[in-house]
Homo-oligomer: A and B are copies of this chain.
Amino acid sequence: MIKQYSRFVTFQFFLAIILTGPALALTDALPSWNEGTSKSAILGFVAKVTKEDSPDYVPPAERIAVFDNDGTLWAEQPMYFQAIFAFDRINDLAPQHPEWKTKEPFASILKGDVKSALAGGEKALVELVMATHAGMTAEEFNKTVKDWIGTAKHPQTKRLYTEMVYQPMLELLAYLRDNGFKTFIVSGGGIEFMRPWAESVYGIPPEQVVGSSGKLKFEVHDGKPVLLKLPEINFIDDKAGKPVGINQHIGRRPLMAFGNSDGDFQMLEWTTAGEGPRFGLLIHHTDKEREWAYDRDSHIGRLVRGLDEGPKRGWTIVSMKNDWKQVFPIDKP
């Protein structure tokens, strides 16, 4: 029997080599990334923190990776998709607000004149957000977002917004999770705007989404407890707010941070100042054919300090044009 058994084991072993050996060796976890310094930097970093005999080994519990959303996981042109959501809401809610016809910034939005609407600066934007993101329960808002994200189309590509996520970043998220990382979104966007779809689109559950938020109030209406969204800002998760949001929600310093604009600078600065191995990466939008090309002079996703200081700080700068084989799950024709 011993002989038979050992023959069986050898056969199994042989089968294993045939079936999984070459597969493991040839599988590319990041097929939409071109070979080059950016891809090597990612693969090299993950290898060194996950190999148990590596001097840079980091236990799984501390493998935290944080990702900006707008411009890092999905597109942000011609304007933040959440702003388009707010404008669509203004149009939907207009019948209940006849006064908006003559009141700025609403009147301009209703005429389709976004530029004039936003001429009022931050005050106008806050007014638009408050009018569209408050005065309802958290569950009602969740449903509103789900309905919109399932049907609304991008003004230029005519695609669903969830089709305008970056294929290389979807692969990166999965690759990091396969290597024991917990992946978080840390975005200036609204926490309650991202949560309803982040799990199905990015594989990131609601409890791993950090973002800007309005204040909430717990009330009991006719015996039913509700969380009411108030027209007051609770927290702005942008720039110097990002490390604060990370500490508040995650409570440990990330190992890896991914962004694309100067709004992410402090998040990368905080992450890469930690002891031991750390990784910072900025996506540079350089591809006007497949996506958009913008940086220093852009009104959205402005990237100046990151380009000037990032390389000196050891951060990886990804050129979308050169480093990405594919941009969207389905690229523009």
Contact of A247 among B5, B64, B216, B270 (CB under 8 A): B216
Nearest residue, chain B, Cβ from A270: B225
- Given A217-B244, A225-B243, A240-B218, are A61 and B205 neighbors across the interface (CB < 8 Å)? yes
Q: How far is A227 from B207 in the complex, measured between Cα atoms in Å?
A: 22
Q: Which of A106-114, A173-181, A249-257, A296-304 contacts B (4 or more CB under 8 A)?
A: A249-257
Chain B residues near A205 (CB, 8 Å)? 61, 251
Which chain B positions have C-beta within 8 A of A251?
191-192, 195, 205-207, 209
Contact with B along A243-267 (1 / 0, CB 8 A): 1100111111000000000000010
Q: By the criterion CB–CB under 8 Å, are B5 and A269 in contact? A: no
Q: Let me know if A138 and B225 touch, CB within 8 A.
A: no
Instruction: Say whether B213 contacts A252, CB under 8 Å.
Output: no
Q: A244-B227, A248-B213, A250-B207 are in contact. Are A266 and B195 (CB under 8 A)?
A: no
Best-surrounded residue of A5, A64, A182, A205 (most CB of chain B within 10 A) = A205
How far, in Å, is A311 (CB) from chain B's closest CB?
17
The distance in angstroms between the C-alpha atoms of A270 and B228, with both chains bound, is 13
**Across the two chains, which residue of chain B brings its CB closest to A216?**
B244
Whether A4 sits at the interface, judged by CB under 8 Å, is: yes
Contact A61 B270 (CB under 8 A): no
> Any chain B CB within 8 A of the CB of A8?
yes
CA A138 – CA B246 in complex, angstroms?
12
Q: How far is the CB of A177 from chain B (nearest CB, A)?
A: 14
Query: So how many copies of this chain end up in the complex?
Result: 2
A269 to B219, CA, bound (A): 11
A273 close to B61 (CB less than 8 A): no
From B218, B244, B269, A244 is in contact (CB under 8 Å) with: B218
Chain B neighbourhood of A213, CB < 8 A: 248
| Cβ-defined partner of A227 (8 Å) among B182, B206, B209, B243 | B243
Instruction: List chain B residues, Cβ under 8 A from A227.
Output: 243-244, 247, 270
Complex interface: chain B residues within 8 A of A249 (CB): 207, 249
Asked if residues B270 and A218 are in contact (CB atoms below 8 Å), the reply is: yes
Min C-beta distance of A62 to chain B, whole Å: 9
Q: With an 8 A cutoff between CB atoms, is A199 at the interface?
A: yes
* Residues of chain B with a CB closer than 8 A to A18's CB: none
Interchain Cβ contacts under 8 Å between A and B, 15 examples: A4-B4, A61-B199, A138-B247, A191-B248, A191-B251, A195-B251, A207-B252, A213-B248, A217-B244, A218-B243, A218-B270, A220-B269, A224-B273, A225-B243, A225-B273
- Which 7 pairs, one residue from A and one from B, show the smallest C-beta to C-beta distance? A206-B251, A218-B240, A4-B4, A207-B250, A218-B243, A195-B251, A216-B244
Known: A1-B7, A218-B244, A227-B243. 9 other contacts (CB 8 A): A5-B8, A8-B8, A64-B207, A207-B208, A207-B250, A209-B251, A218-B240, A220-B269, A225-B269
